[in-house]
Structure 1
Amino acid sequence: MSSKGFYLGVDGGGTKTTCVIVDTSRKTVGRGVAQGSNKNSVGNEVAQRELMASVELAVTDAGISFDEVSSACFALSGCDRPDDVSLVTSWMKKALPTHVHVWVYNDALGALASGTQGVLENAAVLISGTGTIALGVDSNGQQIRAAGWGPLLGDCGSGFDVAQKALTASAAAHDGRGHPTALLPAILEHLSLERPEDLIGWVYGTPGWAHIASLAPIVFECAARRDAVSEQILTDAANALARSVSAVASRLRVAAGSTQKPPTPSAARLSLDAATSKVAISEEHLDRQKERESVPQSSPAEMPFTLVLAGGLLGEGSSLEQVVRRELAHECPGANVVHAEVEPAVGAALIALNKYNALSDDM
């Protein structure tokens, strides 16, 4: 099988869609960005349009033709079931030249690959952005996941979850049903709204979930000012995220007797929003974590695995990330926690490259 030399990766989320093209040396040569492509949020027609828009922009940026693309990997939010995969695969096979090999996965696989150089085994990823998911892949390629059910079914620990709880707490504070919080005036100021009642039109007047999740940084800002309600929201988010990883780790089985070590990529130098990186989590919570860590733990059932942290709420060095790490040290001591070395779209492109090379080896 002869190589055309270029590999396409797409990271499609609820807010934006990014396509990256890499060459055989794994160097990024093209990039394109379009609007959100989660079909559950924007619908099939818009999702298909934005996916192709990002691809066309990346191909143009790379200065190549579609005929030079060997394979493509689409890592997409909202693409969870076999029917979803089949549908998107059919879209892309019709849109791309027939020689291009197409793989479609949930966007969690792209994020995982961004921390493992495209390797999809003995590893897991925890994402917290607009949504959240924990997903692991064992040495046999079997996927195990937890969370990622979407806003109406939980998504605890996601940007939407954090922001929705902030809105709920703000409404309760205004009514006198909840504790006073700095969240209400901060949200009103951010949205340029005059009255708390104006939140109703803002919340329900825009379709989708991204506009709700966009308020999550305000919770970090208020927590940094020691607002108790905001601190509790973020503490609950950290606990929920750690439980998702624990649920995956409990089912993640590495081949018996395997001596293969998980990949240990260096941590990325991620640029973080200042508010996110300075969250103040309650000292009482940290004290409880220290007490738990002082208790001797039994050996974990699973062998060590790499855990990639990804998403805007788990930036390297943030206090939320630190609390998640503390929880994981207790619940999943086998986890080797790292951050992404590259963006998820590049991770998807590396999956496409690795998959294509595997096909070539089988020929």
Structure 2
Amino acid sequence: MDCVLGIDGGGTKTVCIVMNAEKEILGRGETGASNYQSIGINAAFKSIELAIENAVIEALKTIKSLEVQVICLGLAGVNRPRDIEVIKKIVNDLQKSHRLPIMWELEQIIQPDNKSNNIIICHDALIALVGGICRDVGIVVAAGTGAIAYGRNHQGISKRVGGWGYILGDEGSAYQIAIAGMKAAIQAYDGRGELTSLVDVFTNHLQLETIEDLIEFVYRRGMGVKDIAAFATLVDSAAVDGDGVANEIIDDALGELVKATFTVIDAIFCPHIPNPSPQTIRNDDFEIVTTGSVWKGKSNIRERFIKVINQKYPYIKVILPRFEPAYGAGLLALKQYLQKSDSKAAH
């Protein structure tokens, strides 16, 4: 059976789906991280290989054989030409793997210009958009450990805002909320900041004798970005309990996410219009999908985000993801396969 593979690879997990021409998922496999920049190329290859293997084994329970016509890999941090070259090598090695019971119909040698008929390598924001909305037009606003707003319009023009990482950016992310909360607690303890319950919140939650022990907890224990980002829920809860400083932090995060979203809208959906009216964009033009842990907070940040967006553009729908990013990768692969099939039929 002709199939396509959709792969979502990130710093936490890797998901592969096997999809047929009717958009049905025949198999799904999930493994650990596959961001080669953090775990290395060999480990990334093994994660992707195992995710494919698990998905294929499930698919072969209902069909006799698989012929992979197109593969789409949506991977975190794949932006530079060197990143593309690394993934090209991984794709070529996958086709040689004896662990994968697949008949490959892909190109063994990918051209340097990356123009392949059946291999798609893209940023994970694109597959999150396509999986969330089920089309490649719209905006995804991801606010988890990191944060990014990414959009693509009807002409295929895309715009990215944010996603610069925890040192250079990621405003509106869980990491930045957590860092702002810890800084506020320290400043209040010093006497150079507003009084806030965050001092007690962090002290009690982390079982510290005093907030001064936060130094040892963060620096000497080698807390990672994801570990710190998890503390955003403490700030969110303090905001719900009425802490003014915590609410300011949540407000700032909301403001950054709104700003990023409006920047994408202005850049690709109503360019060259200084002050677009609500009628400039209609609800049949595109949707905005929100993904990530920040939107799940108890402080209603998502509801407030929707309210601000709709105050300016009442026709835009803000939705939750319809499907996962790996499904979006599968849809992109399937679109390429169908275009390729139509082209062959025409000749």
TM-score, normalised on structure 1?
0.77
- 1:239 partnered with 2:236: no
Of residues 57-66 and 126-135 in structure 1, the stretch that sits farther from structure 2 once superposed is 57-66
CA–CA distance in 2 between the matches of 1:42 and 1:351? 27
How many Å apart are 1:20 and its aligned residue? 2.5
- 1:336 partnered with 2:335: no
- 1:308 partnered with 2:289: yes
- 1:124 partnered with 2:139: yes
Gaps of 5+ in 1: 256-295
Give yes or no for contact 1:114–1:341 (8 Å, CA) kept in 2.
Answer: yes
Structural mapping, 1:157-236, within 5 Å:
157-204=172-219, 205-206=221-222, 208-236=224-252
Of residues 328-337 and 124-133 in structure 1, the stretch that sits farther from structure 2 once superposed is 328-337
| Superimposed CA distance per residue, residues 254-276 of structure 1 (whole angstroms, 9 cap, x where no aligned partner) | 89xxxxxxxxxxxxxxxxxxxxx
Of residues 310-319 and 76-85 in structure 1, the stretch that sits farther from structure 2 once superposed is 310-319
Aligned-residue Cα RMSD (Å) equals 3.0
Give yes or no for contact 2:74–2:123 (8 Å, CA) kept in 1.
Answer: yes
Paired residue for 1:112?
A: 129
CA–CA distance in 1 between the matches of 2:200 and 2:297? 29
| Superimposed CA distance per residue, residues 127-161 of structure 1 (whole angstroms, 9 cap, x where no aligned partner) | 11111111111222222111111111111001111
CA–CA distance in 2 between the matches of 1:63 and 1:183? 53
Give yes or no for contact 1:246–1:332 (8 Å, CA) kept in 2.
Answer: no
Task: Work out the percentage of aligned pairs sharing the same amino acid.
Answer: 32
Distance 1:333 1:41, change over 3 A: farther
- Larger gyration radius, structure 1 or structure 2: 2
CA–CA distance in 1 between the matches of 2:202 and 2:43? 30
How many Å apart are 1:195 and its aligned residue? 3.9
Distance 1:177 1:83, change over 3 A: same
Paired residue for 2:152?
A: 137
CA–CA distance in 2 between the matches of 1:199 and 1:41? 26
Of residues 347-356 and 81-90 in structure 1, the stretch that sits farther from structure 2 once superposed is 81-90
- 1:350 partnered with 2:331: yes
Structure 2 SS opposite 1:250: helix
Give yes or no for contact 1:21–1:62 (8 Å, CA) kept in 2.
Answer: yes
Structure 2 SS opposite 1:124: strand
Distance 1:37 1:190, change over 3 A: farther
Gaps of 5+ in 2: 97-103, 107-117
Structural mapping, 1:55-66, within 5 Å:
55-63=52-60
Paired residue for 1:152?
A: 167
CA–CA distance in 2 between the matches of 1:206 and 1:316? 26
- 1:35 partnered with 2:52: no
CA–CA distance in 2 between the matches of 1:224 and 1:358? 50
Distance 1:146 1:133, change over 3 A: same
TM-score, normalised on structure 2?
0.80
Paired residue for 2:110?
A: none
CA–CA distance in 2 between the matches of 1:315 and 1:299? 28
Distance 1:56 1:199, change over 3 A: farther
